[in-house]
Structure 1
Amino acid sequence: MTDDLLSRHDVLLADLDGTLYRGADVIPGAVEAVRGAAERGVPTVYVTNNASRRPSEVAAHLAELGFPADIADVRTSSQAASAMLAEQVPAGAPVFVVGTDALADEILTRGLTLADSADTAVAVVQGHSPDTGWRRLADAVVAIRSGALWIATNVDATLPTERGPLPGNGSMVQVVRTASGAEPQVAGKPAARLLREAQGDAVRPLVVGDRLDTDIEGAHAVGAPSLMVLTGASGAAELLVARPELRPTYIGADLAALNRHPAELVPGPREGWRVDAGPDGLRLSGDGASAEPITDALRALCATAWEHGAGRVTAEGDAAARALVELGLAR
């Protein structure tokens, strides 16, 4: 019987952009990893903070890229937000939507209605839309200051694009927060609601993602172990200074880590590497004589940094210097 990370879990709660694909391109090995998990009886639920697309559109995009996905496999922050609203306002209540038609559709499926103006809104739901303008944000502020319930689908400050990180829903939420003086309820990661809904009846979930302040912090919120992959938003520098609630259980270069033994993936001492902590920071030395030398160097660095603090990272020897360059830690 295989004794790898995948064998310890009954569902993968996987982030999308940065974990399975980057923009229009599939991350190498991601399709094979997800399909391989399905063949071994471990399904993947695709969990996204992006509220701008319908679940059917997300599923179609994943299937086009080669992932085994249908609508039932997708959980979006717009679904979680609409469920939260339906629990707190009467049936048929008018909701002011700041976001796309996809978010509005989710509100309607919960038996709520769409408010024509801020004056009639019982609640405000806010999700990302590239077309959101000042007037829409201003009306949301008016409704909230008049007592409307406010739910944000997510508070991601940025979203990944081919042009680099651009303002995400969290940046627009901050505008409304500043102007209204209110604080929204949050449906998406790192809040627990979305991941709990995605988990369903599974009892041994593994949260898989590339971003510390959404995926990994969300895993902590639901008490689930997490696999951080180095294919997206967060990198080595962020890992070294991560607060306890942002630290992953496992670190993998990519989704191939699912087929490795869990003990090989946890932060800690690694064969071929030595990390010394001193008053000036961390010093990496060794020859990296392992199957995965660069990621092993990061696992060793994280363990020491989380115990003693990070500070400056330096290298002793050519192998260590190359590792720091590849990890983006070289000065």
Structure 2
Amino acid sequence: MDTNTLIDPYDTLLLDLDGVVYLGRDAVPAAPEALGRAAERGVRLAYVTNNASRTPAAIAQHLRALGAPANPEDVVTSAQAAARLVAERVEPGAAVLVVGGMGLRSALRAHGLRPVSTALDAPVAVVQGIAPDLSYGLLAEGTLAVREGALFVAANADATMPTGRGELPGNGAMIRVIATATGVEPIVAGKPEPPLHRESMLRTGSRRPLVVGDRLDTDIEGANNAGVDSLLVLTGVASPLDVLTAVPRHRPTYVAGDLSDLHRPYPEVRRSGNGWTCEGWTARWEDGALTLEGEGEPLDGLRAASAATWEAVGEDGADEDMVKAALDFVLPPRTPRSG
């Protein structure tokens, strides 16, 4: 790179939250400090989350308690994207049935819509997002409304969500209840679909954003859908093996251990003979499998291995058996997160 640190070319960080800045109630190590440094140098921070259960004010308060700089206007949620999506399709003041929490209700009110909790109110739309107290009763009301013709919108389709105890069912798992009962698939507002990225760009006015996330199928795919650069951090859902086996739409621009790598030079990954090198590592694709040799920072080995693998498999995803032996050499299998 021509610049000194990874963050230098960008004016805005579009940051995922769960698995990037925090896990449950606790900060990801080094994240608050890295974000504080970014803000001090004038980089705009936008916290872009598929979690629709909390309001921007509640999320900002949580972030500040962890030591990260944040105001409510810095938070962009899938609830806000879903509310804008609905508001653009229905009349002002229309009733919208909320299968979710306060984050969705607040976002709908901000767009002049009327949140309701029963199909008896004849809602024109049903919006579903994850909430810890999501009940069968609300799912049943949502089902009845969708069967009556209400627009069905999902804040996001994440199958799981990371927590300090491990991965728990996400909104993508819960929307299957209404979808299965009605035969109607929802319009999805959250990552990787365009509405949340559009909401982020409208709110920040960014010209050179960097999307930062921990999931290949939402954060990184969303960035690729929008044609912007992305950074995958290995502090949440995605593992090094996921990186190597990623299909093109899931491949990040950069891979880092955590947010502190924003303030370090990003090592060059370059072609060398019949392989790819990064710092002290060389990766080659030989006889249908990945080989990796060298020493030094393990992440540099992963970066070289990714370049060699992605070039070799092209539009496909590499089979795990083709890469796992080389990966275990540089990065031993990750132990599951526990509470």
Regarding TM over 0.5, the answer is yes
Counterpart of 1:260 in structure 2 is 264
Q: Alpha-carbon deviation of 1:116?
A: 4.8
Counterpart of 2:149 in structure 1 is 147
Equivalent AA in structure 1 for residue 11 of structure 2: D
Measure the CA separation in 1 of the matches of 2:150 and 2:249.
31
Secondary structure of 1:284 counterpart = strand
Which runs of 5 or more structure 2 residues have no equivalent in the other structure?
none
Contact 1:250 1:265 (8 Å CA) reproduced: no
Q: Does 1:274 find its partner at 2:282?
A: yes
Mark the CA change 1:156 to 1:64 in structure 2 (over 3 Å): closer, same or farther: same
Secondary structure of 1:269 counterpart = strand
Counterpart of 2:11 in structure 1 is 10
Q: Alpha-carbon deviation of 1:97?
A: 0.7
Mark the CA change 1:279 to 1:140 in structure 2 (over 3 Å): closer, same or farther: farther
Measure the CA separation in 1 of the matches of 2:31 and 2:268.
20
| Correspondences of 1:290-305 after superposition (within 5 Å) | 293-305=297-309
Structure 1 residue ranges (4+ consecutive) displaced by more than 4 angstroms after TM superposition: 265-268
Match of 1:251 among 234, 239, 255: 255
Contact 1:284 1:314 (8 Å CA) reproduced: no
Counterpart of 2:123 in structure 1 is 121
Measure the CA separation in 1 of the matches of 2:213 and 2:37.
18
Mark the CA change 1:56 to 1:273 in structure 2 (over 3 Å): closer, same or farther: same
Contact 1:294 1:327 (8 Å CA) reproduced: no
Measure the CA separation in 2 of the matches of 1:77 and 1:218.
13
| Correspondences of 1:163-174 after superposition (within 5 Å) | 163-174=165-176
CA RMSD of superposed structures (Å): 2.2
Q: Does 1:323 find its partner at 2:330?
A: yes
Mark the CA change 1:145 to 1:41 in structure 2 (over 3 Å): closer, same or farther: same
Q: Alpha-carbon deviation of 1:51?
A: 0.7
Match of 1:284 among 292, 301, 315: 292
Contact 2:189 2:195 (8 Å CA) reproduced: yes
Secondary structure of 1:207 counterpart = strand
Contact 1:95 1:122 (8 Å CA) reproduced: yes
Mark the CA change 1:315 to 1:155 in structure 2 (over 3 Å): closer, same or farther: closer
Measure the CA separation in 2 of the matches of 1:322 and 1:29.
26
Mark the CA change 1:266 to 1:11 in structure 2 (over 3 Å): closer, same or farther: farther
Measure the CA separation in 2 of the matches of 1:13 and 1:324.
28
| Correspondences of 1:60-209 after superposition (within 5 Å) | 60-119=61-120, 120-199=122-201, 200-209=204-213
Contact 1:251 1:266 (8 Å CA) reproduced: no
Secondary structure of 2:166 counterpart = coil
Q: Does 1:236 find its partner at 2:240?
A: yes
85-94 or 24-33, larger mean C-alpha shift:
24-33
Q: Alpha-carbon deviation of 1:136?
A: 1.9
Mark the CA change 1:174 to 1:269 in structure 2 (over 3 Å): closer, same or farther: farther
Contact 2:268 2:279 (8 Å CA) reproduced: no
Q: Identity across aligned pairs (percent)?
A: 48
Measure the CA separation in 2 of the matches of 1:205 and 1:271.
27
Equivalent AA in structure 1 for residue 173 of structure 2: S
Contact 2:241 2:324 (8 Å CA) reproduced: no
Contact 1:123 1:149 (8 Å CA) reproduced: yes
Q: Alpha-carbon deviation of 1:133?
A: 2.4
Equivalent AA in structure 2 for residue 159 of structure 1: M
Which runs of 5 or more structure 1 residues have no equivalent in the other structure?
none
Equivalent AA in structure 2 for residue 60 of structure 1: Q
Measure the CA separation in 1 of the matches of 2:331 and 2:253.
22
Q: Alpha-carbon deviation of 1:134?
A: 2.4
Equivalent AA in structure 2 for residue 136 of structure 1: L
